[in-house]
């Protein structure tokens, strides 16, 4: 009986750890993506240079297109790998008007704008825009982007979320990037 009780305790403890490890952040499948204002800092060279440095609704500009929207607290090499992969993926799916924008979030809006400009240039982003939302600490409040999520990815079409990924620090791996790109199949014809 003791062995059974011990085994059951180990299984339950493992389940609790696995459940605690799962992070939910941002809008979830079925949610509608509300409008919000951002300042475009770089990237997406064909969507209008007049938009650089001005506040506007990027989500609104994209309308009902299929979109991969990213919120990130860290413009590091991992985010660069995601951005470059998305940039190529958008080019391959240009006929379907696949779009993407990366929102850098954190506490200092001016530092974020500078970082966003540098990030877009360093990664030579042609198709992916890099922006800073006006609500920049955690992104727009109604998006529910969790502070413990370093990267939150929302994949949507026609303003409706089809897939979501929430990654804590250090978890934006090649496998995670592959899973994000694979989920774009949910918004492409």
The residues that bridge with 165 in the sheet, in sequence order, are 153
d(Cα 25, Cα 45) in Å, to the nearest integer?
29
C-alpha to C-alpha distances, 109 to 18, 100, 139, nearest whole angstrom: 35, 21, 11
d(Cα 72, Cα 150) in Å, to the nearest integer?
6
What's 173's domain CATH number?
A: 3.40.30.10
At 21 the pLDDT is: 57
Tokens of 59: 């989500």
For the entire predicted model, the pTM comes to 0.88
At 51 the pLDDT is: 74
Domain span at 114: 25-186
Number of domains in the chain: 1
160 assigned to some structural domain? yes
88 assigned to some structural domain? yes
Consecutive 10-residue averages of pLDDT for the chain (189 residues)? 40 38 92 96 82 89 97 97 98 96 95 96 96 94 96 98 98 98 96
């Amino acid at each position: 009986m003791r062995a059974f009780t011990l085994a059951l305790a180990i299984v339950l403890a493992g389940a609790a750890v696995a459940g605690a490890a799962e992070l939910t952040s941002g809008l979830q499948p079925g949610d509608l993506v509300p409008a919000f204002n951002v300042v475009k800092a770089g990237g997406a060279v064909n969507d209008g240079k007049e938009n650089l440095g001005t506040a506007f609704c990027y989500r609104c500009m994209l309308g009902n297109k299929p979109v991969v929207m990213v919120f990130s607290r860290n413009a590091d090499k991992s985010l660069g790998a995601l951005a470059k992969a998305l940039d190529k993926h958008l080019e391959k799916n240009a006929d379907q008007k696949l779009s993407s924008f990366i929102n850098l979030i954190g506490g200092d809006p001016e530092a974020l704008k500078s970082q966003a400009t540098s990030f877009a240039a360093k990664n030579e982003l042609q198709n992916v825009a890099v922006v800073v939302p006006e609500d920049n600490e955690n992104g727009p409040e109604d998006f529910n982007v969790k502070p413990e999520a370093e990267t939150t990815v929302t994949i949507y079409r026609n303003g409706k979320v089809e897939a979501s990924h929430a990654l804590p620090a250090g978890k934006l791996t090649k496998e995670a990037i592959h899973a994000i790109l694979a989920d774009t199949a949910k918004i492409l014809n």
